[in-house]
Structure 1
């Protein structure tokens, strides 16, 4: 199959970009031809993929536009800078779309595959498949539910800026989804929300992201992160939907019951940096450690050195940290609207409501399980990861979706009837 691809790809970038790398590598291993089109200063040539003779990197960089932006950068302030950057991005997309069309005329593509983004463009005669990072409406839905706390910490101005941004984003998403013959998302939870957004159910599929099971693996001899304490880990960006407030309130409750616990938080504050105040005012600072980031290749050792990974997010399409924790043999705690929970089995301890009391109970249960039979829990977590996140299994399903999407209409109808 000849695949034109537009994707976020980097081998060791983490989250979606590294999962996309694994997907493309497996497609190449199976003999598919992949042409990766990209804005060259954003997605650089993946050297690990370049060793495959059936891979071609087709980066585009409009240096004249970038030079013009740099010349006038001192005049670009606030919203004007965002408008200019968006315009430059759109100009790159126009050129990339034309180049895909030229290549298609010379040697036709079977499919145009977007990984990590919606369908940014389309080319006549080429079916479009997009693997989304998440449903387009759920981020705003969570922000709206959490409005009062957001305004309390970050102010009304930010709230209304987010309202305007996501209103525009949803209009854009409708155009992107209308270009697709198939849409992939990270969980059945996400799939239902994409369908609710207006995409026909027969076009929407759920697939988990793959993970490097050799890089993320258990090592029982790894020393504990904080000797003498059970360590809970939060790893990932911090914005209102991720529920740092809930995490800290629940941890404070846990500390009233046992003092041999420590919470480590690693993640950057995104559009609401005022949430840092929650960490600064936490009443038990000796039990809390914060860092903005960690090197990607240090993450496996970090995961092995903690006891439980916690992700209290609302409306989570797929939490990569949760999957990586399972790969390393670590149990996870997550909430009722976290789609990753569909893949976690007995290694997940889910709280039923987004309240400090419910999360605290889940933390207690997870810690008790760790203390009762750590070897068995680690084995269950790892086996679950091997069953769910092996790139070969996931690409098997992706190939089936691509085959169905690129089949002639009569064959497509026959496939649907036999499913």
Structure 2
């Protein structure tokens, strides 16, 4: 355990040894890391309750205090905040192309990295930090999915549950999720290009250029048209949507012989968005977070895309960028994913996933719970979210017309509202 201070915060690092498979406590072990943060001056308050932050993802490490979203400063007014690096991310035993290179069965290993395992890790951490005393959980995006799993598996560990942009379908298949996601992504394209009309022509020029030339990013990776289209993930957050515009505006320069070329600043900026090197589990596990009920996801986003010709860059219509979808070809084009291709395909065709949610327990829920649902959320379907809210006893959702998916990170009033709803 290490404690240090910076920027008005007191941080304490914790590392916990946990089972890889919680049903086999005597089996292989991994480390789970969490950073506890308290406002300077409050560190001596033994009665200060803890709030666990469950990050979006899957495969995203917890926020670092030096780059904290608006929610953290608000939470620190009345909580000790626990920033958990979910298993496989950050300082928790990493799972990536390097650490899995010599593993005999990466797919079997990674099958233990879903929400149910994350919740059981959190319960061991809670008992380590405060014994039987329950804590508050704030789940953003996939962290909200984990929070519903928490309410299903271990509600006794929760004092209250707060969810932002993270109410998943409890019973729907991945096909239902991605079919709705493509529709929302078409709408997000329309909103973006209405906001920045010139960018439609710029994006089409970039795609045409990539179709005609072998363009390499500064990393040496080829930038294909379909990989360029995945920049549409930027449409979903207030922090990124304008950044995409300012990236596109510097796309072209004049190259050798006066011919147009794509600039290094543009290509480097694209690489920073489309590469999954910092979070490979996002690609490997993304569809499995919806997997249960005896059906394989079977590369759902890839299959369902056939129903939406708008995303076919060769069809001749206006170019559409894609959103939060993982495709099998990404495991050929992204060097961070190439060594994980076989494991990802095995997981995509697995059918014996355990259930993530207990509908009976959620229907009888007694934990105070509140959720922010964003009307124009590109990543989580509003109608599916509201249906889920209706299945959780005591959950009265707040539907916001003014925030995108990252509302809790952009505006402290979001956390204020949820705390007030559960007071």
TM-score (norm 1): 0.33
Q: Point out the structure with the larger helix share.
A: 1
TM-score (norm 2): 0.33
Higher RCO structure (Cα 8 Å, ≥6 apart): 2
